[in-house]
Amino acid sequence: MVGGEWLRTCQIEKESAEMILSVSRRTDIPNYYSEWFYNRIKEGFLYVRNPMNAHQVSEIKITPDVVDCIVFWTKNPLPMMERLDELKAYHYYFQFTLTGYGTDVEVNLPNKKTSMIPIFRELSNRIGREKVIWRYDPIFFTDKYTSQYHLKAFRNIAEALNGYTEKCVISFADIYAKNKKNMESLSGYDLNEGELRSFAKELSRIARDNHMEIGSCAEKIELGDCGIVHNCCIDKELIEKIIGCRLKVGKDKNQRMECGCVESVEVGTYNTCKNGCAYCYANDSVKSVEANASQYDPALPLLCSRVETEDRIHLRKAVSLKEAQISMFD
C-alpha cells in the first residue's frame, strides 16, 4: 500500500511521538492480531487511525532504535508466543489479565485453570517473571460474583502464579456508555466503604503471602492503608529497570487524572476485540466488532481498516525517550 495510488491524494503532515508503544488498551492484539503486529515489526512502521477524527491517520516508525519499550495488554498471549524471537531487538513486558469470571462475563476466553494459568507460567519462564504483570481486573460484585467468590478465585490464581510474577494489579469496574447495558444486565452492586476496605486488605494479604506487590489501576479511592498502592501500568520505573536507562517522559495527559501511566503511543483500534467481555468499554457492539474484524488483513499497515483517498497521513516524528547519559551511581 505504501507509495500506491492513494498516497498521491493524501495530505502528509508531521508531528512528534513518544516511543513507548501500548499494544493495546483498545483491543487484544496478542490474542487476535499478532500476525499483523509481527508484520509491522518487519516493515518497521504502522498506521493508527485517530478514533476522534476518522480521516486522520498517523504513520509511526517502530524500529528498535526509536522504540524504548513495548507494553502488551492481553487476556491470552498464546497466539504470539511461538514468534517471540522476532522481538529480540526490543524491550517489552506483558499486562496479562487473568480473572475468576466465567464465560457468562468473558465470553470467548479459554478455561482459566486448564489453559490460561499454564500459558501465564510458560510466558513467565520464557521472558522473566518481572515482565509479566498479573491483572485481576476489573472487579465487580453480583449475586454470583460476591466478594467471597472473588477472594477465593484471587487466592487460587495467586497461589498458582506464585513465583511466576512479581506484581498484581486490580481495579474496580467503571460504567461507560459502551458497557452500561451489559453491566446493568449483570445486576451488580457496590460494597460500602468498610466492606470494600476489608476486601482490599484481604486481597493485599493474599498477594503478599504469594510474594507479589499489589497496586490499583486508575482508582480514586486511596487504599494505601490496605496495602494497595496506586499503580502505573505503563510504568516508568519498570521500563527503566528493563532497559537499563533513564527516560525523559511525563504523565500521559490523554488518560484519566487518576491514571499514573506515562506517555505512550497507542496502536490499537476500537471495536475490534473479540474477547466478548461484558465489562468492555472499547466495543460498541458485537456487530461493530464483526464488521471491523471482517476487514482484517495482516499485510496492511492499518489494523482492521484500509487507507482511503480522503485520509490525511501524519508522519509522526519518532524520538527515543532515553536520556543520553546515566550516572554510574544510579
Task: Express each pLDDT in 228-259 by its tens digit.
Answer: 988 889 999 999 999 999 998 888 777 776 67
The answer to whether the predicted template modeling score (pTM) of the entire model surpasses 0.85 is: yes
Q: What is the pLDDT of residues 287-310, one digit of tens each?
A: 999 999 999 999 999 999 999 999
CA distance 11 to 89: 33
CA atoms 17, 19, 25, 31: torsion sign: positive
Count: domains in the chain:
1
| 142 within domain boundaries | yes
| 324 within domain boundaries | no
Which of the two residues, 31 and 224, has the higher pLDDT score? 31
Query: The C-alpha cell of 170 is what?
Result: 486490580
Mutual orientation of helices 193-209 and 147-161 as an angle, nearest 10°?
A: 20
Q: What is the pLDDT of residues 15-27, one digit of tens each?
A: 444 589 999 999 9
Query: What is the maximum alpha-carbon separation in the chain?
Result: 63
| 328 within domain boundaries | no
| 330 within domain boundaries | no
| 242 within domain boundaries | yes
- Residue 61 domain boundaries: 5-318
pLDDT at 324 (0 to 100):
54
DSSP single-letter state for residue 115: I
pLDDT exceeds 90 at position 313: yes
| 291 within domain boundaries | yes
Contact 215, 227 (CB under 8 A): no
| 146 within domain boundaries | yes
| 326 within domain boundaries | no
Distance (Å) of CA 314 to CA 15, 55, 317: 7, 11, 9
Q: What is the pLDDT of residues 34-93, one digit of tens each?
A: 999 999 999 999 999 999 998 999 999 999 999 999 999 999 999 999 999 999 999 999
Q: Considering just the CA atoms, what is the radius of gyration of the chain in Å?
A: 20
